[in-house]
Protein backbone atom coordinates (compact mmCIF):
# COMPACT_ATOMS: atom_id res chain seq x y z
CA UNK A 1 0.00 0.00 0.00
CA UNK A 2 2.96 2.32 0.59
CA UNK A 3 3.69 2.93 -3.12
CA UNK A 4 0.04 3.85 -3.66
CA UNK A 5 0.20 6.27 -0.76
CA UNK A 6 3.42 7.83 -2.06
CA UNK A 7 1.97 8.28 -5.53
CA UNK A 8 -1.21 9.69 -4.01
CA UNK A 9 0.72 12.24 -1.98
CA UNK A 10 2.89 13.25 -4.92
CA UNK A 11 -0.06 13.67 -7.28
CA UNK A 12 -2.20 15.50 -4.77
CA UNK A 13 0.62 17.92 -4.02
CA UNK A 14 1.17 18.36 -7.77
CA UNK A 15 -2.31 19.88 -8.10
CA UNK A 16 -1.23 22.68 -5.80
CA UNK A 17 2.22 23.17 -7.31
CA UNK A 18 0.66 25.52 -9.87
CA UNK A 19 -2.24 27.98 -9.67
CA UNK A 20 -4.32 25.53 -11.71
CA UNK A 21 -5.86 24.00 -8.59
CA UNK A 22 -7.00 27.36 -7.27
CA UNK A 23 -8.38 28.36 -10.66
CA UNK A 24 -10.20 25.08 -10.93
CA UNK A 25 -11.75 25.34 -7.47
CA UNK A 26 -12.88 28.90 -8.12
CA UNK A 27 -14.42 27.96 -11.45
CA UNK A 28 -16.21 24.99 -9.91
CA UNK A 29 -17.57 27.01 -6.98
CA UNK A 30 -18.59 29.96 -9.14
CA UNK A 31 -20.31 27.77 -11.70
CA UNK A 32 -22.09 25.54 -9.24
CA UNK A 33 -23.28 28.48 -7.13
CA UNK A 34 -24.18 30.57 -10.16
CA UNK A 35 -26.18 27.79 -11.78
CA UNK A 36 -27.91 26.95 -8.51
CA UNK A 37 -28.98 30.51 -7.78
CA UNK A 38 -29.72 31.86 -11.22
CA UNK A 39 -30.65 28.91 -13.40
CA UNK A 40 -32.54 26.68 -11.03
CA UNK A 41 -33.90 29.56 -8.92
CA UNK A 42 -32.67 28.50 -5.50
CA UNK A 43 -34.55 31.29 -3.71
CA UNK A 44 -37.68 31.32 -5.88
CA UNK A 45 -38.48 27.68 -5.32
CA UNK A 46 -39.23 28.32 -1.68
CA UNK A 47 -37.88 24.95 -0.69
CA UNK A 48 -35.02 24.26 1.68
CA UNK A 49 -33.19 21.64 -0.34
CA UNK A 50 -30.17 21.36 -2.61
CA UNK A 51 -31.76 19.56 -5.54
CA UNK A 52 -31.17 22.64 -7.69
CA UNK A 53 -27.50 22.42 -6.79
CA UNK A 54 -26.99 18.70 -7.43
CA UNK A 55 -29.01 18.90 -10.64
CA UNK A 56 -26.03 20.52 -12.36
CA UNK A 57 -23.35 18.15 -11.17
CA UNK A 58 -23.42 15.65 -14.06
CA UNK A 59 -23.02 18.55 -16.50
CA UNK A 60 -20.37 20.34 -14.53
CA UNK A 61 -18.40 17.16 -13.95
CA UNK A 62 -18.61 16.30 -17.62
CA UNK A 63 -16.16 19.11 -18.31
CA UNK A 64 -14.44 19.61 -14.98
CA UNK A 65 -13.51 16.02 -14.10
CA UNK A 66 -11.67 15.37 -17.39
CA UNK A 67 -9.84 18.64 -16.68
CA UNK A 68 -8.65 17.25 -13.33
CA UNK A 69 -7.68 13.86 -14.68
CA UNK A 70 -6.22 14.74 -18.10
CA UNK A 71 -2.74 15.39 -16.78
CA UNK A 72 -2.47 12.22 -14.68
CA UNK A 73 -0.82 10.15 -17.42
CA UNK A 74 -0.54 12.39 -20.45
CA UNK A 75 1.83 14.69 -18.59
CA UNK A 76 4.02 11.76 -17.52
CA UNK A 77 4.28 10.67 -21.12
CA UNK A 78 5.00 14.14 -22.43
CA UNK A 79 7.75 14.84 -19.92
CA UNK A 80 9.21 11.34 -20.04
CA UNK A 81 8.78 10.76 -16.30
CA UNK A 82 6.61 7.77 -17.13
CA UNK A 83 9.85 5.97 -17.87
CA UNK A 84 11.01 6.60 -14.32
CA UNK A 85 7.71 5.68 -12.82
CA UNK A 86 7.27 2.45 -14.75
CA UNK A 87 10.79 1.22 -14.03
CA UNK A 88 10.34 1.50 -10.27
CA UNK A 89 9.89 -1.79 -8.43
CA UNK A 90 6.15 -1.41 -7.91
CA UNK A 91 3.08 -2.90 -9.56
CA UNK A 92 1.38 -0.73 -12.19
CA UNK A 93 -1.97 -0.98 -10.39
CA UNK A 94 -0.46 0.60 -7.30
CA UNK A 95 0.42 3.65 -9.35
CA UNK A 96 -2.89 3.71 -11.19
CA UNK A 97 -4.78 3.58 -7.91
CA UNK A 98 -2.64 6.26 -6.27
CA UNK A 99 -3.13 8.65 -9.15
CA UNK A 100 -6.85 8.15 -9.28
CA UNK A 101 -7.19 8.54 -5.52
CA UNK A 102 -5.34 11.86 -5.71
CA UNK A 103 -7.78 13.14 -8.32
CA UNK A 104 -10.72 11.81 -6.34
CA UNK A 105 -9.48 13.48 -3.18
CA UNK A 106 -9.18 16.72 -5.12
CA UNK A 107 -12.81 16.30 -6.22
CA UNK A 108 -13.73 15.70 -2.58
CA UNK A 109 -12.07 18.96 -1.67
CA UNK A 110 -14.03 20.79 -4.36
CA UNK A 111 -17.27 19.27 -3.05
CA UNK A 112 -16.32 20.03 0.55
CA UNK A 113 -15.92 23.68 -0.36
CA UNK A 114 -19.60 23.82 -1.33
CA UNK A 115 -20.77 22.97 2.20
CA UNK A 116 -21.56 26.65 2.96
CA UNK A 117 -24.54 26.03 0.68
CA UNK A 118 -25.58 23.14 2.90
CA UNK A 119 -25.24 25.34 5.92
CA UNK A 120 -27.24 28.08 4.20
CA UNK A 121 -30.25 25.87 3.56
CA UNK A 122 -30.15 24.79 7.19
CA UNK A 123 -30.29 28.41 8.29
CA UNK A 124 -33.10 29.26 5.89
CA UNK A 125 -35.23 26.25 6.63
CA UNK A 126 -35.13 22.66 7.72
CA UNK A 127 -34.00 20.50 4.82
CA UNK A 128 -33.78 16.72 4.86
CA UNK A 129 -30.10 16.44 5.69
CA UNK A 130 -30.15 12.71 4.97
CA UNK A 131 -31.05 13.43 1.36
CA UNK A 132 -28.33 16.03 1.08
CA UNK A 133 -25.75 13.68 2.58
CA UNK A 134 -26.78 10.91 0.19
CA UNK A 135 -26.57 13.36 -2.69
CA UNK A 136 -23.05 14.39 -1.73
CA UNK A 137 -21.99 10.74 -1.58
CA UNK A 138 -23.66 10.11 -4.94
CA UNK A 139 -22.00 13.16 -6.45
CA UNK A 140 -18.60 12.08 -5.17
CA UNK A 141 -19.03 8.56 -6.53
CA UNK A 142 -20.08 9.95 -9.89
CA UNK A 143 -17.06 12.26 -9.86
CA UNK A 144 -14.90 9.20 -9.19
CA UNK A 145 -16.38 7.47 -12.24
CA UNK A 146 -15.73 10.46 -14.48
CA UNK A 147 -12.17 10.62 -13.13
CA UNK A 148 -11.45 6.92 -13.59
CA UNK A 149 -12.74 7.13 -17.15
CA UNK A 150 -10.66 10.22 -17.91
CA UNK A 151 -7.54 8.76 -16.27
CA UNK A 152 -7.76 5.63 -18.42
CA UNK A 153 -8.07 7.77 -21.55
CA UNK A 154 -5.21 9.97 -20.39
CA UNK A 155 -3.00 6.86 -20.30
CA UNK A 156 -3.39 6.50 -24.07
CA UNK A 157 -2.07 9.90 -25.08
CA UNK A 158 0.76 12.25 -24.39
CA UNK A 159 -1.40 15.24 -25.17
CA UNK A 160 -3.48 16.60 -22.33
CA UNK A 161 -5.77 18.29 -24.82
CA UNK A 162 -6.52 15.02 -26.59
CA UNK A 163 -7.01 13.29 -23.26
CA UNK A 164 -9.47 16.01 -22.26
CA UNK A 165 -11.45 15.88 -25.48
CA UNK A 166 -11.54 12.09 -25.54
CA UNK A 167 -12.61 11.85 -21.92
CA UNK A 168 -15.31 14.47 -22.33
CA UNK A 169 -16.68 12.73 -25.40
CA UNK A 170 -16.84 9.33 -23.72
CA UNK A 171 -18.24 10.83 -20.53
CA UNK A 172 -20.92 12.57 -22.56
CA UNK A 173 -22.08 9.18 -23.86
CA UNK A 174 -22.31 7.88 -20.31
CA UNK A 175 -24.25 10.90 -19.10
CA UNK A 176 -26.63 10.69 -22.03
CA UNK A 177 -26.96 6.91 -22.03
CA UNK A 178 -30.52 7.11 -20.72
CA UNK A 179 -31.64 9.59 -23.38
CA UNK A 180 -33.06 8.87 -26.81
CA UNK A 181 -30.08 10.61 -28.40
CA UNK A 182 -27.93 7.64 -27.47
CA UNK A 183 -30.60 4.96 -27.17
CA UNK A 184 -32.03 5.46 -30.66
CA UNK A 185 -28.58 5.01 -32.13
CA UNK A 186 -28.33 1.68 -30.35
CA UNK A 187 -31.93 0.61 -30.85
CA UNK A 188 -31.58 0.59 -34.63
CA UNK A 189 -29.29 -2.44 -34.59
CA UNK A 190 -29.11 -4.00 -31.14
CA UNK A 191 -31.57 -6.31 -29.41
CA UNK A 192 -33.63 -5.06 -26.48
CA UNK A 193 -31.29 -6.51 -23.87
CA UNK A 194 -28.45 -4.35 -25.08
CA UNK A 195 -30.64 -1.27 -25.24
CA UNK A 196 -31.61 -1.89 -21.64
CA UNK A 197 -27.97 -2.46 -20.73
CA UNK A 198 -27.00 0.86 -22.30
CA UNK A 199 -29.85 2.62 -20.55
CA UNK A 200 -28.67 1.19 -17.25
CA UNK A 201 -25.24 2.76 -17.81
CA UNK A 202 -26.68 6.25 -17.58
CA UNK A 203 -24.82 8.40 -15.08
CA UNK A 204 -27.80 10.71 -14.98
CA UNK A 205 -30.21 7.94 -14.05
CA UNK A 206 -28.07 6.53 -11.28
CA UNK A 207 -27.18 9.93 -9.92
CA UNK A 208 -30.83 11.02 -9.87
CA UNK A 209 -31.76 7.95 -7.86
CA UNK A 210 -29.02 8.72 -5.37
CA UNK A 211 -30.12 12.36 -5.02
CA UNK A 212 -33.64 11.25 -4.26
CA UNK A 213 -32.28 10.44 -0.85
CA UNK A 214 -31.97 6.74 -0.65
CA UNK A 215 -28.44 5.44 -0.90
CA UNK A 216 -29.67 2.99 -3.41
CA UNK A 217 -27.42 -0.04 -3.53
CA UNK A 218 -27.61 -0.84 -7.28
CA UNK A 219 -26.55 2.69 -8.16
CA UNK A 220 -23.70 2.61 -5.67
CA UNK A 221 -22.61 -0.74 -7.06
CA UNK A 222 -22.83 0.69 -10.56
CA UNK A 223 -20.48 3.58 -9.84
CA UNK A 224 -18.07 1.50 -7.77
CA UNK A 225 -17.82 -1.25 -10.36
CA UNK A 226 -17.46 1.27 -13.18
CA UNK A 227 -14.57 2.85 -11.28
CA UNK A 228 -12.96 -0.55 -10.76
CA UNK A 229 -13.40 -1.41 -14.42
CA UNK A 230 -11.90 1.88 -15.60
CA UNK A 231 -8.93 1.49 -13.28
CA UNK A 232 -8.39 -1.97 -14.73
CA UNK A 233 -8.60 -0.47 -18.23
CA UNK A 234 -6.06 2.10 -17.11
CA UNK A 235 -3.62 -0.64 -16.10
CA UNK A 236 -4.25 -2.43 -19.38
CA UNK A 237 -3.71 0.76 -21.36
CA UNK A 238 -0.29 1.15 -19.76
CA UNK A 239 0.63 -2.44 -20.47
CA UNK A 240 -0.52 -2.25 -24.06
CA UNK A 241 1.52 0.91 -24.61
CA UNK A 242 4.53 -0.92 -23.27
CA UNK A 243 4.30 -3.61 -25.92
CA UNK A 244 3.50 -1.20 -28.76
CA UNK B 1 26.56 -14.75 -13.72
CA UNK B 2 26.48 -11.64 -15.81
CA UNK B 3 24.71 -8.75 -14.09
CA UNK B 4 23.15 -7.58 -17.33
CA UNK B 5 22.36 -9.84 -20.18
CA UNK B 6 20.56 -9.22 -23.45
CA UNK B 7 19.62 -12.23 -25.52
CA UNK B 8 18.78 -11.61 -29.12
CA UNK B 9 16.59 -8.57 -28.47
CA UNK B 10 14.34 -7.51 -31.30
CA UNK B 11 11.94 -4.59 -31.24
CA UNK B 12 9.70 -3.63 -34.12
CA UNK B 13 7.51 -0.55 -34.30
CA UNK B 14 5.17 -1.37 -37.16
CA UNK B 15 7.40 -1.93 -40.16
CA UNK B 16 10.42 -0.31 -38.52
CA UNK B 17 12.88 -2.61 -36.81
CA UNK B 18 14.45 -0.41 -34.16
CA UNK B 19 16.45 -3.14 -32.48
CA UNK B 20 17.53 -6.12 -34.48
CA UNK B 21 19.09 -9.02 -32.65
CA UNK B 22 21.16 -7.42 -29.93
CA UNK B 23 22.95 -9.78 -27.53
CA UNK B 24 25.60 -9.00 -24.96
CA UNK B 25 26.47 -9.54 -21.33
CA UNK B 26 27.97 -7.19 -18.76
CA UNK B 27 29.89 -8.37 -15.71
CA UNK B 28 30.56 -6.54 -12.48
CA UNK B 29 33.18 -3.78 -12.79
CA UNK B 30 32.55 -3.42 -16.51
CA UNK B 31 31.45 -0.15 -18.06
CA UNK B 32 29.97 -0.81 -21.45
CA UNK B 33 29.50 2.06 -23.85
CA UNK B 34 26.62 1.88 -26.27
CA UNK B 35 27.71 3.77 -29.32
CA UNK B 36 25.79 4.62 -32.37
CA UNK B 37 24.48 7.38 -34.57
CA UNK B 38 21.24 9.05 -33.54
CA UNK B 39 18.33 6.74 -34.18
CA UNK B 40 20.51 3.65 -34.07
CA UNK B 41 18.36 1.96 -31.46
CA UNK B 42 20.50 2.66 -28.38
CA UNK B 43 17.69 4.14 -26.34
CA UNK B 44 15.20 1.54 -27.46
CA UNK B 45 17.57 -1.23 -26.41
CA UNK B 46 18.03 0.41 -23.02
CA UNK B 47 14.30 0.83 -22.59
CA UNK B 48 13.85 -2.87 -23.21
CA UNK B 49 16.58 -3.90 -20.79
CA UNK B 50 15.15 -1.62 -18.11
CA UNK B 51 11.74 -3.21 -18.65
CA UNK B 52 10.00 -0.05 -19.83
CA UNK B 53 9.34 -1.51 -23.27
CA UNK B 54 8.55 -5.09 -24.11
CA UNK B 55 10.76 -6.67 -26.73
CA UNK B 56 9.09 -8.10 -29.82
CA UNK B 57 11.28 -11.12 -29.19
CA UNK B 58 14.29 -11.97 -27.08
CA UNK B 59 14.94 -11.52 -23.39
CA UNK B 60 16.80 -9.17 -21.11
CA UNK B 61 18.05 -10.06 -17.64
CA UNK B 62 19.14 -8.00 -14.66
CA UNK B 63 21.07 -10.22 -12.27
CA UNK B 64 19.33 -13.21 -13.75
CA UNK B 65 15.81 -11.78 -13.45
CA UNK B 66 13.91 -11.35 -16.69
CA UNK B 67 13.09 -7.66 -16.89
CA UNK B 68 9.79 -8.47 -18.56
CA UNK B 69 8.46 -11.52 -16.70
CA UNK B 70 10.03 -10.74 -13.29
CA UNK B 71 9.97 -6.96 -13.48
CA UNK B 72 9.83 -6.17 -9.76
CA UNK B 73 12.85 -8.32 -8.90
CA UNK B 74 14.78 -6.96 -11.86
CA UNK B 75 13.96 -3.32 -11.12
CA UNK B 76 15.02 -3.57 -7.48
CA UNK B 77 18.54 -4.19 -8.74
CA UNK B 78 18.51 -1.60 -11.47
CA UNK B 79 19.24 2.12 -11.52
CA UNK B 80 17.98 3.67 -14.72
CA UNK B 81 18.54 7.11 -16.15
CA UNK B 82 16.11 7.54 -19.04
CA UNK B 83 16.94 9.64 -22.08
CA UNK B 84 16.84 13.33 -21.24
CA UNK B 85 16.96 12.71 -17.47
CA UNK B 86 13.25 13.29 -16.84
CA UNK B 87 12.14 14.32 -13.36
CA UNK B 88 9.01 15.82 -11.85
CA UNK B 89 9.43 19.49 -12.61
CA UNK B 90 7.08 20.63 -9.86
CA UNK B 91 8.96 18.90 -7.04
CA UNK B 92 12.00 20.02 -5.10
CA UNK B 93 15.15 17.94 -5.44
CA UNK B 94 14.71 16.70 -1.86
CA UNK B 95 11.07 15.71 -2.34
CA UNK B 96 11.76 14.05 -5.66
CA UNK B 97 14.63 11.91 -4.39
CA UNK B 98 12.65 11.13 -1.25
CA UNK B 99 9.76 9.96 -3.41
CA UNK B 100 12.01 7.70 -5.47
CA UNK B 101 13.61 6.27 -2.31
CA UNK B 102 10.18 5.54 -0.86
CA UNK B 103 9.09 3.82 -4.06
CA UNK B 104 12.15 1.59 -3.71
CA UNK B 105 10.82 0.55 -0.34
CA UNK B 106 13.38 2.44 1.72
CA UNK B 107 12.27 3.62 5.13
CA UNK B 108 12.36 7.34 5.91
CA UNK B 109 15.52 6.82 7.92
CA UNK B 110 17.32 4.70 5.34
CA UNK B 111 16.38 7.25 2.70
CA UNK B 112 17.67 10.16 4.77
CA UNK B 113 21.02 8.45 5.36
CA UNK B 114 21.43 7.46 1.76
CA UNK B 115 20.39 10.84 0.41
CA UNK B 116 22.81 12.62 2.75
CA UNK B 117 25.57 10.51 1.23
CA UNK B 118 24.44 11.18 -2.35
CA UNK B 119 24.15 14.92 -1.81
CA UNK B 120 27.85 14.97 -0.98
CA UNK B 121 28.87 12.67 -3.74
CA UNK B 122 26.86 14.25 -6.52
CA UNK B 123 27.18 17.78 -5.19
CA UNK B 124 23.51 18.65 -4.94
CA UNK B 125 23.59 20.57 -1.65
CA UNK B 126 23.19 23.97 -3.30
CA UNK B 127 19.96 23.06 -5.03
CA UNK B 128 18.54 20.65 -2.46
CA UNK B 129 15.37 22.64 -1.81
CA UNK B 130 14.95 24.11 -5.26
CA UNK B 131 12.22 23.09 -7.64
CA UNK B 132 13.53 20.87 -10.41
CA UNK B 133 12.15 23.09 -13.18
CA UNK B 134 14.38 25.91 -11.94
CA UNK B 135 17.59 23.88 -12.27
CA UNK B 136 20.23 24.15 -14.95
CA UNK B 137 20.74 21.27 -17.33
CA UNK B 138 23.81 20.11 -15.46
CA UNK B 139 21.99 19.93 -12.15
CA UNK B 140 19.00 18.22 -13.73
CA UNK B 141 21.29 15.55 -15.11
CA UNK B 142 22.86 15.12 -11.68
CA UNK B 143 19.45 14.75 -10.10
CA UNK B 144 18.77 12.06 -12.69
CA UNK B 145 21.94 10.23 -11.70
CA UNK B 146 21.12 10.61 -8.01
CA UNK B 147 17.70 9.14 -8.69
CA UNK B 148 19.32 6.12 -10.35
CA UNK B 149 21.71 5.62 -7.42
CA UNK B 150 19.26 6.09 -4.55
CA UNK B 151 18.85 2.39 -3.80
CA UNK B 152 22.51 1.59 -4.49
CA UNK B 153 21.75 -0.85 -7.31
CA UNK B 154 24.29 -3.27 -8.74
CA UNK B 155 23.27 -2.44 -12.28
CA UNK B 156 23.16 1.02 -13.81
CA UNK B 157 21.73 1.82 -17.20
CA UNK B 158 22.41 5.42 -18.10
CA UNK B 159 21.06 6.84 -21.32
CA UNK B 160 23.34 9.69 -22.36
CA UNK B 161 24.45 10.72 -18.87
CA UNK B 162 26.62 13.59 -20.11
CA UNK B 163 24.39 14.94 -22.85
CA UNK B 164 24.13 18.71 -22.69
CA UNK B 165 26.72 19.15 -19.96
CA UNK B 166 29.59 21.61 -20.19
CA UNK B 167 33.15 20.25 -20.25
CA UNK B 168 33.65 20.57 -16.49
CA UNK B 169 30.38 18.86 -15.75
CA UNK B 170 31.23 16.13 -18.23
CA UNK B 171 34.50 15.60 -16.48
CA UNK B 172 32.77 15.39 -13.09
CA UNK B 173 30.18 12.96 -14.40
CA UNK B 174 32.88 10.72 -15.82
CA UNK B 175 34.78 10.84 -12.54
CA UNK B 176 31.61 9.83 -10.75
CA UNK B 177 30.99 6.92 -13.12
CA UNK B 178 34.57 5.78 -12.79
CA UNK B 179 34.42 5.96 -9.01
CA UNK B 180 31.36 3.72 -8.72
CA UNK B 181 32.30 1.41 -11.58
CA UNK B 182 34.30 -1.24 -9.65
CA UNK B 183 31.25 -2.38 -7.65
CA UNK B 184 28.72 -2.26 -10.45
CA UNK B 185 27.86 -3.25 -13.96
CA UNK B 186 27.21 -0.11 -15.97
CA UNK B 187 25.83 0.45 -19.43
CA UNK B 188 25.98 3.98 -20.79
CA UNK B 189 24.90 5.20 -24.16
CA UNK B 190 26.57 8.07 -25.85
CA UNK B 191 27.49 9.45 -29.21
CA UNK B 192 30.50 11.22 -27.79
CA UNK B 193 33.41 8.98 -28.59
CA UNK B 194 35.95 10.50 -26.25
CA UNK B 195 33.63 9.38 -23.50
CA UNK B 196 34.14 5.78 -24.46
CA UNK B 197 37.89 6.13 -24.19
CA UNK B 198 37.48 8.02 -20.94
CA UNK B 199 35.21 5.68 -19.00
CA UNK B 200 34.33 2.49 -20.84
CA UNK B 201 36.00 -0.86 -20.55
CA UNK B 202 34.11 -2.05 -23.58
CA UNK B 203 32.25 -0.51 -26.47
CA UNK B 204 29.32 -1.86 -28.40
CA UNK B 205 28.66 -0.12 -31.68
CA UNK B 206 25.11 -0.17 -32.98
CA UNK B 207 23.68 1.19 -36.19
CA UNK B 208 20.23 0.59 -37.60
CA UNK B 209 19.43 -1.64 -34.67
CA UNK B 210 22.25 -4.07 -35.33
CA UNK B 211 25.36 -4.70 -33.31
CA UNK B 212 28.39 -4.01 -35.46
CA UNK B 213 31.14 -4.35 -32.91
CA UNK B 214 31.68 -5.41 -29.31
CA UNK B 215 35.26 -4.80 -28.26
CA UNK B 216 37.51 -2.83 -25.95
CA UNK B 217 38.33 0.70 -27.09
CA UNK B 218 41.91 -0.44 -27.77
CA UNK B 219 40.73 -3.28 -30.01
CA UNK B 220 38.49 -0.89 -31.89
CA UNK B 221 41.37 1.49 -32.45
CA UNK B 222 43.46 -1.29 -33.94
CA UNK B 223 40.74 -2.21 -36.35
CA UNK B 224 40.62 0.27 -39.23
CA UNK B 225 42.80 0.12 -42.29
CA UNK B 226 44.42 3.38 -41.37
CA UNK B 227 45.87 1.95 -38.21
CA UNK B 228 49.55 2.70 -38.32
CA UNK B 229 49.35 4.45 -41.69
CA UNK B 230 52.31 6.75 -42.21
CA UNK B 231 51.69 10.24 -43.48
CA UNK B 232 54.64 11.65 -45.42
CA UNK B 233 54.77 15.21 -46.67
CA UNK B 234 57.24 15.79 -49.47
CA UNK B 235 58.26 19.13 -50.89
CA UNK B 236 57.32 18.48 -54.47
CA UNK B 237 54.24 18.84 -56.57
CA UNK B 238 55.08 15.69 -58.47
CA UNK B 239 54.99 12.70 -56.17
CA UNK B 240 55.14 9.99 -58.86
CA UNK B 241 58.73 9.03 -58.18
CA UNK B 242 58.20 8.86 -54.47
CA UNK B 243 55.13 6.70 -54.90
CA UNK B 244 57.02 4.37 -57.21
CA UNK B 245 59.85 4.04 -54.76
CA UNK B 246 57.63 3.32 -51.81
CA UNK B 247 55.17 1.00 -53.54
CA UNK B 248 57.83 -1.50 -54.50
CA UNK B 249 58.88 -2.00 -50.88
CA UNK B 250 57.70 -5.27 -49.40
CA UNK B 251 54.82 -4.94 -46.95
CA UNK B 252 53.23 -1.86 -48.52
CA UNK B 253 49.60 -2.35 -49.44
CA UNK B 254 48.72 1.03 -50.83
CA UNK B 255 50.05 4.55 -51.27
CA UNK B 256 47.51 7.35 -51.53
CA UNK B 257 47.92 10.98 -52.33
CA UNK B 258 46.09 12.56 -49.45
CA UNK B 259 46.65 16.16 -50.38
CA UNK B 260 48.59 18.19 -52.94
CA UNK B 261 48.83 21.94 -52.43
CA UNK B 262 51.40 24.65 -53.17
CA UNK B 263 54.01 22.27 -54.39
CA UNK B 264 53.77 20.10 -51.33
CA UNK B 265 52.29 16.61 -51.39
CA UNK B 266 51.06 14.53 -48.53
CA UNK B 267 51.17 10.81 -49.06
CA UNK B 268 49.44 8.20 -46.97
CA UNK B 269 51.33 4.93 -46.86
CA UNK B 270 49.38 1.90 -45.75
CA UNK B 271 51.42 -0.94 -44.40
CA UNK B 272 49.30 -3.48 -42.56
CA UNK B 273 52.21 -5.11 -40.74
CA UNK B 274 53.81 -1.74 -39.96
CA UNK B 275 56.75 -2.88 -42.11
CA UNK B 276 58.68 -1.04 -43.38
CA UNK B 277 58.78 1.38 -40.47
CA UNK B 278 58.52 5.10 -40.82
CA UNK B 279 62.29 5.42 -40.33
CA UNK B 280 62.98 2.98 -43.16
CA UNK B 281 60.66 4.88 -45.48
CA UNK B 282 62.41 8.11 -44.63
CA UNK B 283 65.76 6.49 -45.47
CA UNK B 284 64.51 5.29 -48.85
CA UNK B 285 63.27 8.74 -49.83
CA UNK B 286 66.38 10.50 -48.58
CA UNK B 287 68.62 8.24 -50.65
CA UNK B 288 66.69 9.32 -53.76
CA UNK B 289 67.01 12.98 -52.83
CA UNK B 290 63.37 13.49 -52.14
CA UNK B 291 63.02 16.07 -49.43
CA UNK B 292 60.72 14.97 -46.65
CA UNK B 293 59.12 17.97 -44.97
CA UNK B 294 57.13 16.12 -42.38
CA UNK B 295 56.42 12.58 -41.42
CA UNK B 296 54.29 10.98 -38.74
CA UNK B 297 52.50 7.79 -37.94
CA UNK B 298 48.85 8.62 -38.15
CA UNK B 299 46.99 8.18 -34.91
CA UNK B 300 43.56 6.71 -35.43
CA UNK B 301 40.72 8.25 -33.52
CA UNK B 302 37.63 6.44 -32.41
CA UNK B 303 35.75 8.83 -34.63
CA UNK B 304 37.38 7.26 -37.67
CA UNK B 305 36.61 3.78 -36.45
CA UNK B 306 33.06 4.73 -35.71
CA UNK B 307 32.57 6.30 -39.12
CA UNK B 308 34.06 3.33 -40.89
CA UNK B 309 32.01 0.79 -39.02
CA UNK B 310 28.72 2.62 -39.15
CA UNK B 311 29.07 3.79 -42.76
CA UNK B 312 29.84 0.23 -43.72
CA UNK B 313 26.46 -0.72 -42.28
CA UNK B 314 24.67 1.81 -44.39
CA UNK B 315 26.19 0.77 -47.70
The ipTM assigned to this model is: 0.89
Nearest Cβ partner for B147 among A2, A17, A84: A84
Nearest Cβ partner for A80 among B78, B82, B103: B82
Is it the case that residue B176 has pLDDT exceeding 80? Answer: yes
Residue A158: what pLDDT?
Answer: 85
pLDDT tens-digit series, residues B83-105: 999 999 999 999 999 999 999 99
Residue A189: what pLDDT?
Answer: 82
Domain boundaries, chain A: 2-243
Residues of chain B neighbouring A6 (CB-CB closer than 8 A): 99, 102-103
Strand partners, B266: B233, B259
Mean pLDDT of chain A: 89
Instruction: Verify whether the Cβ–Cβ distance A242 to B13 is below 8 Å.
Output: no
Residue B106, phi then psi, degrees to nearest 5: -80, 140
Per cent of chain B over pLDDT 70 is 95
Residues of chain B neighbouring A7 (CB-CB closer than 8 A): 103
Q: Which residue of B has its CA nearest to A240?
A: B54
Residues of chain A neighbouring B76 (CB-CB closer than 8 A): 89
Q: What is the 3-state secondary structure (H, E, C) of chain A?
A: CHHHHHHHHHHHHHHHCCCHHHHHHHHHHHHHHHHHHHHCCCCCCCCCCCHHHHCCHHHHHHHHHHHHHCHHHHHHHHHCHHHHHCCCCCCHHHHHHHHHHHHHHHHHHHHHCCHHHHHHHHHHCCCCHHHHHHHHHHHHHHHHHHHHHHHHHHCCCCCHHHHHHHHHHHHHHHHHCCCHHHHHHHHCCCCHHHHHHHHHCCHHHHHHHHHCCCCCHHHHHHHHHHHHHHHHHHHHHHHHHHHC
Mutate to test the interface with A, among B11, B63, B90 (most CBs of A within 10 A): B90
Instruction: Verify whether the Cβ–Cβ distance A6 to B54 is below 8 Å.
Output: no
Average of pLDDT values for B61-68?
94
Average of pLDDT values for B267-272?
79
pLDDT tens-digit series, residues B7-20: 999 999 988 999 99
Mean pLDDT of chain B: 87
Choose which CATH entry (3.40.50.300, 3.30.470.20, 3.30.360.10, 3.40.190.10) describes domain B4-221.
3.40.50.300
Is it the case that residue B197 has pLDDT exceeding 90? Answer: no
Instruction: Verify whether the Cβ–Cβ distance B103 to A89 is below 8 Å.
Output: yes
Q: Which residue of A has its CA nearest to B98?
A: A6
A1 touches B at CB < 8 Å: no
Same fold, B4-221 and B230-299: no
Is it the case that residue A102 has pLDDT exceeding 90? Answer: yes
Instruction: Verify whether the Cβ–Cβ distance B86 to A80 is below 8 Å.
Output: yes
B79 touches A at CB < 8 Å: no
Nearest Cβ partner for A84 among B13, B53, B86: B86
Residues of chain A neighbouring B158 (CB-CB closer than 8 A): none
Q: How many CB pairs under 8 A join A and B?
A: 72
A2 touches B at CB < 8 Å: yes
B230-299: CATH topology: Alpha-Beta Plaits (3.30.70)
Q: Where are the alpha helices (DSSP H) in chain B?
A: 42-50, 71-76, 93-103, 108-122, 137-149, 167-180, 193-199, 217-221, 240-247, 278-287, 302-314
Domain boundaries, chain B: 4-221, 230-299
Instruction: Verify whether the Cβ–Cβ distance A86 to B83 is below 8 Å.
Output: no
Nearest Cβ partner for A243 among B54, B88, B90: B54
Residue B46: what pLDDT?
Answer: 95
B131: left (phi over 0), alpha (psi -120 to 50) or beta: beta
Residue B246: what pLDDT?
Answer: 83
Ranked by mean pLDDT, the top range of A120-129, B167-176, B179-188, B268-277 is B179-188
**pTM confidence score:** 0.85
Which of A1, A100, A24, A76 lies closest to B90 in space, CA to CA?
A: A76
User: What radius of gyration do chain B's Cα atoms show?
Assistant: 25
Residue B312: what pLDDT?
Answer: 67
Nearest Cβ partner for B51 among A81, A87, A91: A87
The answer to which of A55-69, A220-234, B64-78, B272-286 has the lowest mean pLDDT is B272-286
Amino acid sequence: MRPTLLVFRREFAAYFATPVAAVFLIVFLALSAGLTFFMTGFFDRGQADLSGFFFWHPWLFLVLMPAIAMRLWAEERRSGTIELLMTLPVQPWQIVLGKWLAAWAFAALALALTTPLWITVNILGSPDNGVIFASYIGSWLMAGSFLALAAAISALSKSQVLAFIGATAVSFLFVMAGFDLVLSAVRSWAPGVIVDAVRSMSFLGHFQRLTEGVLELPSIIFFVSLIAFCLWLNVRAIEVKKAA
Amino acid sequence: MALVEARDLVKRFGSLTAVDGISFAVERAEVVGFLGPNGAGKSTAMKIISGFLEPTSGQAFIEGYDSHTQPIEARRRLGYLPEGAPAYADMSVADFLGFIAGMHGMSKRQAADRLAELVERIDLADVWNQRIDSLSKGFKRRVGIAQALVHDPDVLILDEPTDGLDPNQKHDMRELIRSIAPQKAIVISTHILEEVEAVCTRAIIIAKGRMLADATPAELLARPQDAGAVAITIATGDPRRAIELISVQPGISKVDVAERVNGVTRLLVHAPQSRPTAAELAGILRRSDIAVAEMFVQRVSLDDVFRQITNGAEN
